[in-house]
Structure 1
Amino acid sequence: MTSSHRDAQAPWPRSEPSALTPGSEQAEIREAIRGVLAKYSAIEQVRAAADSAPGYSVDLWKRLVTDMSVTTLAVPEEAGGLGYGMVELGIILEECGRALAVEPVYQHAAVGVRAMMEAGNSNLLDEILDGRTVVAVSALTVESDDLEALRTGDGWAVSGQARFVVGGGGADLVVVSARAPEGTALFAVPTKSASAVRDRRVVDSTRRQADLSFDGAAATLVVPAEKADDAIARIQDVATLALACENTGIADALLQMTLDHVKTRHQFGRPIGSFQAIKHRLADLLIELERARSAARYAAAVHDEDPDDARLAIAVAGAVCGDAAVHVAHEAVQLHGGVGFTWEHAAHSYFRRVLGNEALQGDSRAHRERIADFLAV
């Protein structure tokens, strides 16, 4: 095999993406979303919204849709969007992680919109982009979906269970995978047609999950069986990248929170942040945060150029950003001392979100297994 042929088959990106370095427009997006979340998504507001019936603040969700265009930001102009990409949506997701926002930005604006774009159904997509119809997407795996789809006179009907659906209890529409006569396909089902909706007990109360049961519920075919495997791969890539961005924001928030604490917490007449051992630990966390930010930003930039070429970069981001968030969360709890272990402290909620994110798209070991598969090692 010649060198040029090996390069053509390489699974890694072959050029530096143009969107890797953020510009003034990206900085303005970050400043705007951070201002909105600082005002409406303080930790007390987050916890109150998580305990509400839908599991999020309806008012803040409307603001994010109308003022920040979170549902249309990464949608091409010809499909009714603003024509940006995952770089810009990644900034939104990072800031949502930083504020521990409970609004359905991850499950709707990132994953749900991606699923609807796979459908190519303008009517469905229009309903999703205006934010009034909230969509949730199941994990689209054998473990999550046990559904069968049968043809009816004028459409489809699905029966069975969709498990571990993020935001499923508060969504209007859920995208699931189901066994059809031609093979596994993707369907959109109104949650009001579910015969039962059961909230699951999960480690992260700020991101609720539900099991939905259907018994002959009317469904819309989103992606036919012959295209479902590729569509599921693209949807899961976006889900992994979205959580990588969110984990980066979580690590940023926890590191800043810890820095503020060690500057004001005194022992032996000195701030504990002045001790050499604490400085070294914080320096290590800063390095991990910068690695995570670079990995997530690079993966988003490559995805905007060619989604199929970004899968290795996304797997790397999933592993690096997940590890960074877990490590920073552990250290944040430890360095806050006894108060960091209490339910009342914000670090506790961030820590639970990190653990919950691992369960959604896999821990760093799972992502590294994907990297090994891509590289055939």
Structure 2
Amino acid sequence: MPALDVPWPRTEPAALTPSPERQELRDSLRTLLTRHSDIERVRAAAESELGYDRELWRLLATEMSVAAIAVPEHRGGLGYGTAELATVLEECGRALAAAPVLTSAVLGAGALLAADDRDTVHDLLPAVLEGELLATVSPLTGETDRLRAEPGPDGWMLSGTVTGVLGGASAELLIALAACPDGVRLFAARLGPEVARARRTVIDPTRGQADLTMDGTAATALTSPETTAATVERLRDLATLAVACENTGVIDRLLELTVEYTRARQQFGRPIASFQAIKHRLADLLVLLERARSAARYAAAVYADDPGAARLAVAVAGAVCTEAAVQAAAEAVQLHGGVGFTWEHAAHSYYRRALGNEAAHGSATEHRARIAALLGL
């Protein structure tokens, strides 16, 4: 990975400035998610056959157009930017929304937009943007030895197994890397009943994973061997940024829950929030939130201006927000006392999400290693 010539920050990106439209979007999303995504409903959706809340997804996709927000108008989107998409992800993380926003609305749509030839996805992209076709992206680790593509009479055919696919149990479109006779390409494949799906047991049941096995599944090539590496790098940045924004929302809600509890819980005739030791720990949670919020929103604003120039800002957001979310979740569990250590408490679902994000999208250590590589250290 080549080092950056001039590391960020250079100037303040325009998208970092707060806007009334963005606040209205946040308020509308929070109202919708408060009404349709309480913790009981989130857990019930996670345990369902689909693994997500179909009604919530319909509302988010149709009424809020979450998949089309950051898509250019000439590609069928609303023409807003990554800063607005970051707002959506923060609020979904705050509510642990049981909907395929990350997998389909962000990564799936982003992968289709990155196709070398837009004509190859003319029938796929509109359906994904409207929420009618659920897409997901396999872990883009470069390990393609388990998935291979062969040219067939009517196009490409995929065979093999791809593991640890987020939302793989219910996805209808898979975007994955596969080894071809001429190199490695990124493919989009519709998942029919012939595809074998094996659910995985994961730490975060609100975001399930599955292993998918294909044998001659028809697929469309999105990239050539020459463009695959750059496309995958950009999609990895998008995934890191999206999870950073989501983790910011997780921290925000954990702080809110903890403040509410410590104000209500009394000891020696006083709310425990009035004790100096508790005040300091709550202040530390607030610092974690502000660090994460600053890093994630700055990265989103830089990405909106120039995705290629945002690599360092995105890596910093990945490191800061991943670490902050895990620390905040552990602290929230402790500050809730005995009830916080029960799996039934909401704090544990947020803890699981923070740990699941870390496992699926990289630890703070891994993101710091990328920062060092970008800076040539």
TM-score range, shorter chain: over 0.9
Match of 1:175 in 2: 175
Distance 1:141 1:291, change over 3 A: same
Q: Secondary structure at the match of 2:52?
A: coil
Which residue identity is paired with 1:340?
G
Match of 2:100 in 1: 104
Alpha carbons 2:144, 2:178 under 8 Å: kept: no
C-alpha separation between the residues in 1 aligned to 2:79 and 2:145? Answer: 32
C-alpha separation between the residues in 1 aligned to 2:143 and 2:209? Answer: 15
Match of 2:184 in 1: 184
Distance 1:8 1:374, change over 3 A: closer
Alpha carbons 1:72, 1:81 under 8 Å: kept: yes
Counterparts in 2 of 1:132-151, with a 5 A limit? Answer: 132-143=132-143, 146-151=146-151
Q: Secondary structure at the match of 2:240?
A: helix
Distance 1:8 1:200, change over 3 A: closer
C-alpha separation between the residues in 2 aligned to 1:139 and 1:117? Answer: 18
Q: Percent identity?
A: 55
Match of 2:299 in 1: 299
Tell me the CA shift for residue 218 of structure 1: 1.1
Tell me the CA shift for residue 11 of structure 1: 3.5
Tell me the CA shift for residue 21 of structure 1: 1.9
C-alpha separation between the residues in 1 aligned to 2:193 and 2:313? Answer: 39
Q: CA offsets, 1:108-164, max 9 Å, x none?
A: 111111001011232221121111110010012245772110001120001111111
Correspondent of 1:20 among 16, 22, 28: 16
Q: CA offsets, 1:86-112, max 9 Å, x none?
A: 100110100001001110001111111
5+ residue gaps, structure 2, are none
Tell me the CA shift for residue 8 of structure 1: 8.8
Q: Does 1:56 align with 2:52?
A: yes
Alpha carbons 2:299, 2:317 under 8 Å: kept: yes
Match of 2:354 in 1: 354
Q: CA offsets, 1:266-305, max 9 Å, x none?
A: 1111111111111111111101101110110000000000
Which residue identity is paired with 1:141?
T
Q: CA offsets, 1:51-105, max 9 Å, x none?
A: 1111111111111011111010000011010111110011010000100111000
Distance 1:296 1:194, change over 3 A: farther
Q: Does 1:367 align with 2:367?
A: yes
C-alpha separation between the residues in 2 aligned to 1:293 and 1:365? Answer: 19
Match of 2:160 in 1: 160
Which residue identity is paired with 1:370?
R
Match of 1:87 in 2: 83
Distance 1:290 1:159, change over 3 A: same
Tell me the CA shift for residue 194 of structure 1: 4.5
Match of 1:3 in 2: none
Match of 1:317 in 2: 317
Q: Secondary structure at the match of 2:216?
A: strand
C-alpha separation between the residues in 1 aligned to 2:37 and 2:182? Answer: 46
Q: CA offsets, 1:211-241, max 9 Å, x none?
A: 0001111111122211111110111111100
Q: CA offsets, 1:15-63, max 9 Å, x none?
A: 2101112110100000000000000000001011111111111111111
C-alpha separation between the residues in 2 aligned to 1:141 and 1:111? Answer: 15
Match of 1:4 in 2: none
C-alpha separation between the residues in 2 aligned to 1:357 and 1:147? Answer: 24
C-alpha separation between the residues in 1 aligned to 2:214 and 2:355? Answer: 29
C-alpha separation between the residues in 1 aligned to 2:178 and 2:158? Answer: 7
Tell me the CA shift for residue 9 of structure 1: 2.1
Counterparts in 2 of 1:170-319, with a 5 A limit? Answer: 170-192=170-192, 194-319=194-319
Alpha carbons 1:244, 1:296 under 8 Å: kept: yes
C-alpha separation between the residues in 2 aligned to 1:305 and 1:167? Answer: 30
C-alpha separation between the residues in 1 aligned to 2:168 and 2:250? Answer: 23
Q: CA offsets, 1:316-342, max 9 Å, x none?
A: 001111111111101100000110111
C-alpha separation between the residues in 2 aligned to 1:74 and 1:133? Answer: 18
Which residue identity is paired with 2:186?
L
Instruction: Compare 241-250 and 7-16 and name the one that shifted more.
Output: 7-16
Runs of 4+ in 1 over 3 A off after TM superposition: 142-145
Alpha carbons 1:145, 1:177 under 8 Å: kept: no
Alpha carbons 1:240, 1:361 under 8 Å: kept: yes
Q: Does 1:342 align with 2:342?
A: yes
Tell me the CA shift for residue 188 of structure 1: 1.0
C-alpha separation between the residues in 2 aligned to 1:151 and 1:255? Answer: 53
Alpha carbons 2:96, 2:350 under 8 Å: kept: yes
Q: Secondary structure at the match of 1:188?
A: strand
Correspondent of 2:72 among 61, 64, 76: 76
Distance 1:195 1:113, change over 3 A: closer
Alpha carbons 2:145, 2:179 under 8 Å: kept: no
TM-score by length of 1: 0.96
C-alpha separation between the residues in 2 aligned to 1:182 and 1:37? Answer: 46
Tell me the CA shift for residue 344 of structure 1: 1.0
Q: How many pairs align?
A: 371
C-alpha separation between the residues in 1 aligned to 2:54 and 2:208? Answer: 15
Distance 1:191 1:306, change over 3 A: same
Alpha carbons 1:13, 1:310 under 8 Å: kept: no
